[in-house]
Amino acid sequence: SSSKLLIKGGTVVNAHQQEIADVYVEDGVIVAVKPTIKVGDDVTLLDATGKYVMPGGIDPHTHLAMEFMGTETIDDFFSGQAAALAGGTTMHIDFVIPVNGSLVAGFEAYERKAKKSCMDYGFHMAITKWDESVSREMEIMVKEKGINSFKFFMAYKGSLMINDELLLQGLKRCKSLGALAMVHAENGDAVFEGQKRMIELGITGPEGHALSRPAVLEGEATARAIRLARFVNTPLYIVHVMSIDAMEEISKARKSGQKVIGEPVVSGLVLDDSGLWDPDFITAAKYVMSPPIRESGHDKALQAALSTGVLQLVGTDHCVFNSTQKALGIDDFRKIPNGVNGIEERMHLVWDTMVESGQISVTDYVRITSTECARIFNLYPRKGAILTGSDADIIIFNPNSSFEISASSHHSRTDTNVFDGRKGKGKVEVTIVGGRVVWQDDELKVVPGSGKYIEMPPFSYLFNGIDKSDAKYLSSLRAPVRRFNSAS
Ligand code: URP
Ligand code: ZN
Ligand code: ZN
Ligand code: ZN
């Protein structure tokens, strides 16, 4: 269908600059960005005077319709995306889970799940075991299926976890394919010990979840993954950075020039666990995610790291279960399905926490919610920008309005919301996806099947300067032996 749209008089914000301009869209693509565009009367007009016109958010980390911990996340590709659009996110990257160890079967299953999509999406692939066929199928994913990132689990012992030997092979394979390795960084063996200890102490409630996997275990695994990636000489992406411990390892590695990306998630940026575990089981269980929501102080430190560029982009790890599903763990916190919401709330909470508070600029906001994700996963400038030729995934954001989050009015299917009751300044007033207005006047007009699968090519900018021949590289890691007790 022929859709023509003119957004007039707004402040157009990209990661590199902002300017007052009109934006003209035809058939889902941005055709012009410049002052005072004149058009005929067959064009839909949107007045953005006094408002920001920004690239729609891209959420790098979601789990829709995922089978996990004996159940399935309650938001599927339609409900989760509808919620996203109501909150100004216009693309997400979800994690394909292999089926019976097969990546191809997993991919096909997710292709089916995603048929009802109402916005564009891409896929990462989770690697949950390692053998020759997984290694072979990784190549098929990269060369034929448009996947350029693989997530390895250093936690979830007994189900998803893989050991260092296999992680090393995975890192090497990613490097040879030009794909980005991602890690869930927690020491799974130690978490297992911690959980046993809690149960022995009779601590079976949700607080046992947090107590059994302290930040030191996230720091350890983050450091280990970073060093292994350094040994292999390949870029590394740390998902859901939840602690100072992990963040400081990322900071140190980046200072030394290593290509490490750190992704905090909105729950880790705005929540802390003071008083969280005290109320009734269901109220507490809704906050159970891994790595866990930390003590007060980690949240502020992660915000600061985001503002200084130590961390580069914000995800959500949107992975929701309703109260009935959370109740699977009523007698044992180890059985509480892990995950919290965020796909609808991310854009508002990041604005309020980071921009409204004065920690970052509006251009930085666009970078950490959209552009950087597009660059890392090789989608820029088709996504993550308001430029001629970019997809028309656009939001109109009113900095003078306000938002309020509530489980009774959110668009997710789940019956709780970890940000319930939060309010703040700024509001996504209009969401445009593929050139179509889908959110306006607090009303959603979403079309199942209108979203497209976006293929992500290998070798993003992160691979620039990475040499595939290891011999010279390994000798570059040699360093003089340091002597600590010699007299000076
Ligand atoms: O608790 C979480 N994070 N659930 C989703 C799976 C994962 O580890 O990302
Ligand atoms: Zn048309
Ligand atoms: Zn994870
Ligand atoms: Zn996740």
pLDDT in tens, 253-274: 999 999 999 999 999 999 999 9
For residue 68, report the distance from its CA to the centre of ligand 1, in Å.
9
For residue 291, report the distance from its CA to the centre of ligand 1, in Å.
8
**C-alpha span between 418 and 135 (Å, rounded):** 38
**C-alpha span between 125 and 134 (Å, rounded):** 11
Average pLDDT, the chain: 96
**Residues in contact with 200: Cβ distance below 8 Å, sequence separation at least 6, in sequence order:** none
Determine contact, residues 214/180, Cβ cutoff 8 Å.
no
Residue ID of nearest Cα to ligand 1 atom 3: 290
Ligand with minimal distance to 321 CA: 1
- Report the pLDDT averaged over residues 165-174: 96
Task: Please give all residues whose CB falls under 5 A of ion ligand 2, grouped by chain where several chains appear.
Answer: 1-2, 27
Q: Which residue has the tokens 């959370």?
A: 326
**Residues in contact with 270: Cβ distance below 8 Å, sequence separation at least 6, in sequence order:** 299, 349, 353, 419, 422
Residue ID of nearest Cα to ligand 1 atom 5: 339
- Parallel, antiparallel, or unpaired for β 29-34 and 4-13? unpaired
**C-alpha span between 387 and 405 (Å, rounded):** 32
Determine contact, residues 33/441, Cβ cutoff 8 Å.
no
| Residues lining ligand 1, Cβ inside 6 A | 63, 184, 240, 289-290, 317, 319, 338-339
Q: Which of 152, 118, 115, 177 is nearest to 238 (CA)?
A: 152
DSSP state of 88: T
Q: What is the pLDDT of residue 477?
A: 86
pLDDT in tens, 39-69: 999 999 999 999 999 999 999 999 999 999 9
Determine contact, residues 168/478, Cβ cutoff 8 Å.
no
**Residues in contact with 93: Cβ distance below 8 Å, sequence separation at least 6, in sequence order:** 58, 59, 60, 61, 62, 121, 122, 123, 124, 149, 373, 377, 456
Cβ neighbour number for residue 406 with a 10 Å cutoff: 12
Find the helix or strand (DSSP H, E) in which 370 lies.
none
**C-alpha span between 172 and 130 (Å, rounded):** 13
Determine contact, residues 304/252, Cβ cutoff 8 Å.
no
DSSP state of 464: T
pLDDT in tens, 194-228: 999 999 999 999 999 999 999 999 999 999 999 99
Does the interface ipTM go beyond 0.90? yes
DSSP secondary structure, 165-225, as one string: HHHHHHHHHHHHHT-EEEEE-S-HHHHHHHHHHHHHTT--SHHHHHHHS-HHHHHHHHHHH
Q: Which of 346, 257, 348, 255 is nearest to 308 (CA)?
A: 255
SS3 content of the chain, % helix, strand, coil (to 5): 35, 25, 45
Going by pLDDT thresholds of 50, 70 and 90, the confidence category of residue 81 is very high
Residue ID of nearest Cα to ligand 1 atom 7: 290
Find the helix or strand (DSSP H, E) in which 436 lies.
strand 436-440
- pLDDT surpassing 80 at residue 322: yes
**Counting atoms of ligand 1 from 1, which one is nearest the CA of 95?**
9
**Probe ligand 1: pick from 265, 338, 418, max atoms within 8 Å of CB?**
338
- Report the pLDDT averaged over residues 128-137: 93
Q: What is the pLDDT of residue 144?
A: 98
Q: Which residue has the tokens 């269901």?
A: 282
Find the helix or strand (DSSP H, E) in which 5 lies.
strand 4-13
- pLDDT surpassing 60 at residue 438: yes
Q: What is the pLDDT of residue 434?
A: 97
For residue 155, report the distance from its CA to the centre of ligand 3, in Å.
8
Q: Which of 125, 135, 192 is nearest to 169 (CA)?
A: 135
- pLDDT surpassing 80 at residue 469: no
Ligand with minimal distance to 66 CA: 1
Tokens read off for 140:
């098929």
**Counting atoms of ligand 1 from 1, which one is nearest the CA of 156?**
8
**C-alpha span between 37 and 6 (Å, rounded):** 8
Q: Which of 288, 313, 298 is nearest to 368 (CA)?
A: 313
Q: Which of 382, 377, 380, 457 is nearest to 93 (CA)?
A: 377
Q: What is the pLDDT of residue 1?
A: 46
Cβ neighbour number for residue 44 with a 10 Å cutoff: 14
Going by pLDDT thresholds of 50, 70 and 90, the confidence category of residue 422 is very high
Tokens read off for 479:
């360093």
**C-alpha span between 374 and 371 (Å, rounded):** 5
pLDDT greater at residue 146 or residue 467:
146
Ligand with minimal distance to 95 CA: 4
**Probe ligand 1: pick from 59, 61, 63, max atoms within 8 Å of CB?**
63
For residue 443, report the distance from its CA to the centre of ligand 4, in Å.
29
Q: Which of 47, 66, 141, 93 is nearest to 384 (CA)?
A: 93
- Report the pLDDT averaged over residues 71-92: 98
**C-alpha span between 174 and 388 (Å, rounded):** 33
For residue 320, report the distance from its CA to the centre of ligand 1, in Å.
10
- Report the pLDDT averaged over residues 380-389: 98
In percent, the amount of the chain with pLDDT more than 90 equals 93
Q: What is the pLDDT of residue 119?
A: 98
Q: What are phi and psi of 105, to 5 degrees?
A: -65, -40
**Counting atoms of ligand 1 from 1, which one is nearest the CA of 151?**
9
Q: Which of 244, 315, 311, 300 is nearest to 62 (CA)?
A: 315
Q: What is the pLDDT of residue 486?
A: 59
Amino acid code (one letter) for 335: K
**C-alpha span between 171 and 230 (Å, rounded):** 10
SS3 21: strand
Cβ neighbour number for residue 224 with a 10 Å cutoff: 17
> Nearest-5° angle of CA 456, CA 457, CA 462?
100
